[in-house]
Amino acid sequence: MGWLAYKRMNRFLVLRDAYGTVQARVAPESEFERIVKDLPYESIVRVEGCVIDRGENRNPNMKTGEIEIDVSKLSVLNYASPHLPMLPDAETSEKTRLTYRYIDLRSDRMQRYEHVVEW
């Protein structure tokens, strides 16, 4: 379960949670592909499926770049507005970040800070 951080070709989703990101893949021509097509970034999504090796398509820039989830179930827990005032990891003014704190708290920068403070 996580926030939709990125999608590609309506089949590949990158989900982000407090611990990192993972790529999920939906089958072409599936009911899930139609859902993903209209899904706004930052929507909360739950997926179930098998964790599989990405083979030659590994992404060395992701901690989980060697694996992906082959989705067998997908549910949208909350649709985000398609017109968010900011995205979590975008360059944004401090005033905007403070005004929309609930979005800013999702950013990698803030998640790293929270993990340090938790100890």
Whether 42 and 95 share a structural domain: no
Whether 104 and 78 share a structural domain: no
Distance, in Å, from the CA atom of 43 to the CA atom of 57, rounded to the nearest integer, reads 26
Whether 62 and 16 share a structural domain: yes
First to last CA, the chain: 24
Q: What is the reported pTM?
A: 0.75
Q: How confident is the model at residue 117 (pLDDT cuts 50, 70, 90)?
A: low
Look at the chain and report how many structural domains it folds into. Answer: 2
pLDDT digits (tens, 9 = 90+) for 11-54: 999 998 878 889 999 999 899 998 999 999 889 999 999 999 99
Whether 9 and 52 share a structural domain: yes
Domain CATH number, residue 25: 2.40.50.140
Whether 52 and 99 share a structural domain: no
Whether 49 and 97 share a structural domain: no
Q: Does pLDDT of 55 surpass 80?
A: yes
Q: Containing domain of residue 42, as a range?
A: 2-82
Report, as an integer, the average pLDDT of 70-94.
83
Interstrand relation of 20-25 and 44-53 (parallel, antiparallel or unpaired): unpaired
Q: Count of CB atoms within 10 A of residue 34's CB?
A: 12
pLDDT for residue 93: 81
Any residues with CB less than 8 A from the CB of 15 and at least 6 apart, and which? Answer: 1, 2, 3, 4, 5, 21, 22, 23, 24, 45, 47
As separate numbers, helices (DSSP H) first and strands (DSSP E) second, the chain gives: 4, 5
Whether 113 and 63 share a structural domain: no
Q: Does pLDDT of 118 surpass 70?
A: no
Whether 72 and 97 share a structural domain: no
pLDDT for residue 84: 73
Whether 108 and 60 share a structural domain: no
